[in-house]
Amino acid sequence: MGTFCVGYENSTAIDLYYEDHGVGPPIVMIPGYPFTSSSWEKQISVLLDAGRRVITYDRRGFGKSSHAAKNYSIDVLAADLNELIVMLDLTNLTIIGCSLGSGEALRYMATHGEERISKAVLISSIAPYLLKTETNLEGIDPVFFSTMRQAIKVDRPRFMSQFLDRIFNVDLLIDDRITHEALQSAWNIAAAASAYASLLCIDCLAADFRADLFAITRPVLVIHGEEDRIAPVAAAALRTHRSLHDSKLVMIPGGPHGIIWTHSEIVNREILEFLP
C-alpha cells in the first residue's frame, strides 16, 4: 500500500512496506519472526470491524520491505518502528507485537518514549531475556540459539520448515488448529525472507529486555500459549508479567508460539476487551 525510507545501504534506499486501513483509534501491529504483516490476517478484519484504524508493516529484510544486508539489531528495528509512528503522526496508539515484534514494541517504548502510546499488547513475548547467562539463569541454553544460527547457514529452507513445526506444535495441532495448506503458506513467507535478516534476527530473539520492561508504565496485555516451545512460559510470559507496572496475563491452554493463528478466537477476544 505504501513505503517509507529508513536509511540507505550504499546507493540503495532501505524502504519498508506498510498498509494503513480503517478509521478510528490507531493500532500498529508488529509481526513475529520469520513472518510478515500478512501473519495478522486473522486479527485485521476483526479489528477493522470493531472500528479501528489498523497499520501493519514488514520489518526490514522480510516480505515486501528492502532486504538490507546489515543493521538488524533490536535498536535498529525499534528505530524503524519509530519512523513509521512519527511519519503517520500517530497518537493514542495501541501497539501490538508478536514474538520478535513484542521485543521491538518494548524497545520502542523504552527508548523513544510512551507519549504516543495508550496501551500495548505482547503476544508470545520473547521478553524479558530468553538467553541463559550467569545473571539470567531462567533463560534458555545458548546452544538453542547457536544451533539455529548454524542450521540457517547450512540449509535455511529446511531450518524454516523445522522451525515452523516448533512454532505451531505441528505434531499436536496439525489438522486441528492448523492445516497443511496454512503451514505451507507460512513456509513460503519465511523462505522468501532475506538470508541475512533470517540469520541476524536470531540475535534479536536473544536480546535483553529486562530494563525495557521496568521502564514501561502503560497498561500491557500479555497473551501466551502454555505449550510455547520457542519462548517457554516460565522463561518469558510469567517473568514479563511480574516485571511490568500494569499488566494483565492471559494464558492459553494448549497454545503454541503461533497462537495468533492457532488460537485466534481467544487472542482476538482478549485484544478487543483490552483496547481503550
Which residues belong to the active site? 99, 228, 257
Q: Is the separation of the CB atoms in 64 and 36 below 8 Å?
A: yes
Question: What does DSSP say about strands 53-57 and 93-98: parallel, antiparallel, or unpaired?
Answer: unpaired
Residue 8 CA: distances (Å) to CA of 13, 39, 56, 123, 157:
4, 27, 22, 31, 28
Q: Is the separation of the CB atoms in 106 and 56 below 8 Å?
A: no
Q: Which residues of 146-171 are buried (b: 16+ CB within 10 A; e: fewer)?
A: eebeeebeeebeebbbebbbebbbbe
Q: Is residue 220 packed enough to be buried (19+ CB in 10 Å), middle (13-18) or exposed (0-12)? A: buried
Of 195, 203, 193, which is closest to residue 72 (Cα–Cα)?
203
Residue 226 CA: distances (Å) to CA of 122, 139, 169, 178, 242:
15, 16, 12, 17, 17
Cell for 130? Answer: 530468553
128 preceded by cis ω (within 30°)? yes
Q: Is residue 242 packed enough to be buried (19+ CB in 10 Å), middle (13-18) or exposed (0-12)? A: exposed
How far is the C-alpha of 125 from the C-alpha of 102, rounded, in Å? 5
